[in-house]
């Protein structure tokens, strides 16, 4: 039998749904959602959200930005221009502070502005901000004192909903039985769900096949044994 030709799968970006109604709430992330929802009434004007990759930190940042009109910047890109822009808009999100801080002095100034009530500051990190290697003692003190919420690893219900959402973001629909098949066999983490959905979508495009349990098994096997 002649094998079915594969279609070229272009590695194009896709736009995930990042509105408030698209955020999947469960006991794993409810505290973080509640903390964001009470903005701007944050202690000392700042809030830190911690959690592993893929658990929804960026999504919550976007939800917050849609309400606050704030800007966002990667922590390793902090510079004088950030301070000016943050002061202008009155709300700023600093993402991934665990991956390096471009200018600690700028972040310290942002904390001071937040404490003075001149802006609100939201930050994200995989690890606890107070445990990061910070050179400026005053900045270390600020980060240890800031309000903190953590997004935990997804429970089964949230992981199931996350798979459906990630597939919907890619305009892919899948039968509930396929989701149940995958849930029982994949690593229980948001990062694993993201890897799986990307690989499944690519495989389906390449082979022009429907998203079946058989295709899901092939993808799971391939992720478990990349060789």
pLDDT at 77 over 90: yes
- The mean pLDDT of 12-33, rounded to a whole number, is 65
Architecture of the domain spanning 29-150:
3-Layer(aba) Sandwich (3.40)
Domain span(s) for CATH 1.10.8.60 in the chain: 156-224
- The mean pLDDT of 181-185, rounded to a whole number, is 90
pLDDT at 14 over 60: no
pTM for this prediction: 0.74
Pairing mode, strands 46-50 and 71-74: unpaired
Architecture of the domain spanning 156-224:
Orthogonal Bundle (1.10)
Summarize pLDDT for 109-161 with one digit per residue, the tens. 999 999 999 999 999 999 999 899 999 999 999 999 899 999 988 888 888 88
Provide the pLDDT for residue 18: 47
pLDDT at 37 over 80: yes
The radius of gyration of the chain from alpha carbons, rounded to an integer in Å, stands at 20
Pairwise CA distance, residues 181 & 196, whole Å: 13
Domain span(s) for CATH 3.40.50.300 in the chain: 29-150
Provide the pLDDT for residue 160: 87
């Amino acid at each position: 039998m002649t094998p079915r030709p594969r279609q070229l799968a272009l590695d194009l970006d896709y736009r995930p749904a990042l509105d408030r109604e698209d955020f999947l709430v469960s006991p794993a992330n409810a505290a973080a959602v509640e903390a964001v929802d009470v903005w701007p009434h944050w202690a000392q004007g700042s809030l830190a959200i911690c959690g592993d990759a893929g658990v929804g930190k960026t999504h919550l940042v976007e939800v917050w930005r849609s309400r606050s009109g704030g800007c966002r910047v990667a922590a390793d890109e902090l510079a004088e221009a950030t301070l000016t822009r943050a002061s202008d808009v009155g709300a700023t999100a600093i993402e991934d502070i665990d991956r390096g801080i471009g200018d600690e002095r700028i972040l310290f100034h942002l904390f001071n502005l937040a404490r003075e009530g001149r802006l609100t500051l939201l930050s994200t990190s995989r690890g606890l901000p107070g445990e990061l290697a910070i050179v400026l003692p005053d900045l270390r003190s600020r980060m240890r004192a800031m309000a903190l919420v953590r997004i935990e690893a997804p429970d089964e219900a949230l992981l199931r909903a996350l798979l459906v959402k990630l597939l919907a973001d890619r305009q892919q629909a899948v039968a509930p039985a396929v989701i149940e098949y995958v849930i029982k066999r994949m690593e229980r983490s948001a990062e694993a769900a993201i890897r799986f959905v990307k690989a499944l979508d690519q495989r389906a495009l390449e082979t022009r096949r429907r998203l079946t349990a058989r295709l899901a098994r092939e993808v799971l096997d391939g992720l478990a044994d990349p060789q």
